[in-house]
Structure 1
């Protein structure tokens, strides 16, 4: 299989039967991504999911090409926010053309310290696995909410709209399903 489509949960991909669901959060994403790589040996992994917009100008689907670990916080030991101590990979920059995504194991509904365009819970983990395994990675996020006090209600309300928007994007691109 050349292409592997990954999403956290089936609710994000209603009607998109070519997705594998890897669970919520960085640990689930890492484990299941590695497991699927070992089974399918893909050349490219395409991640789609929902995201909260820190940059509230964003709407619809965006491609994230700069990925950060927003909840790695060892500033007390003089590391930068998002920097894993003693790890050579500080961030994952696929291209400067695209948006930045801060991944963390929390649902964001208030201001965060990291300056990123969107927030999610899996993309950085998948991107890091792909970087280490030398697999091409693409990441698309549907803006489901504005990462504020209304985020929970907005996220639930926009799940189906996101799946429809991704389906339209895929049908008009070169990423046809496997």
Structure 2
């Protein structure tokens, strides 16, 4: 059992399927979306899609855990290969735009943010995940995730976002969780699996690849 609780956030049940099905956790269902594993000392919140749902889910378990990890699927913004696994410690809220107030894209005005990049990882956890993936023969990459409620659905939009923020992946939840964790100085990182490219084929590709992603997430979490 972990000495301190770990908070895990996953957006949808398809991504969490293997974790929820594994008997090793002995999950107790605390509410419609919150689960607790006493043997592993893990709180899991299956939050739903989008920044608001992710931030709300974090708030529900925020005082119960010492650090947080998000597992989930992502779109690749450039030449990232479908099926690639990424460990992410940098995040940008790509649909935050208040440039008329004199701040850079991605920066929330009047928040004290000096950069669009949000980062609050625990290096020990990053190292553990890296070693686990080596043991499990899972090829692991690192990259910056761009998050927002705007769905990136075209190559042109993906290229412009990637060029502006230096990102490799996109999702709809990670930056919101990272933003709160950074503000309150709690460690956060994300493990993302690229199921599609940010284009019109994304929904079909996601359905085909999410089962593999769920298996990878479980293999990592079991040993973390």
Q: TM-score range by the shorter chain?
A: 0.7 to 0.9
Task: Report the count of equivalent residues.
Answer: 171
TM-score normalised by length of structure 2: 0.70
Name structure 1 gaps, 5 residues minimum: none
The aligned residue for residue 149 of structure 1 is 200
Which of 103, 118, 122 in structure 2 is aligned with 1:79? 103
The aligned residue for residue 10 of structure 1 is 13
Name structure 2 gaps, 5 residues minimum: 21-26, 28-43, 127-141
Q: What RMSD in Å do the two structures reach over aligned CA positions?
A: 2.1
Which of 61, 71, 90 in structure 2 is aligned with 1:48? 71
Give CA deviations for 1:82-103 in whole Å, capped at 9, x if unaligned. Answer: 11112223321347x9311110
User: Is residue 136 of structure 2 the alignment partner of residue 99 of structure 1?
Assistant: no
TM superposition outliers: structure 1 runs of 4+ over 6 Å:
none
Structure with more of its chain in helix, by fraction: 2
Higher radius of gyration, 1 or 2: 2
- Which SS does the other structure have where 1:87 is aligned? coil
1:81–1:114: 8 Å Cα contact kept in structure 2? no
TM-score normalised by length of structure 1: 0.86
User: Is residue 191 of structure 2 the alignment partner of residue 140 of structure 1?
Assistant: yes
1:67–1:123: 8 Å Cα contact kept in structure 2? yes
Give CA deviations for 1:61-112 in whole Å, capped at 9, x if unaligned. Answer: 10111100000122344432211112223321347x9311110002221124
> Bigger CA drift: 86-95 or 161-170?
86-95
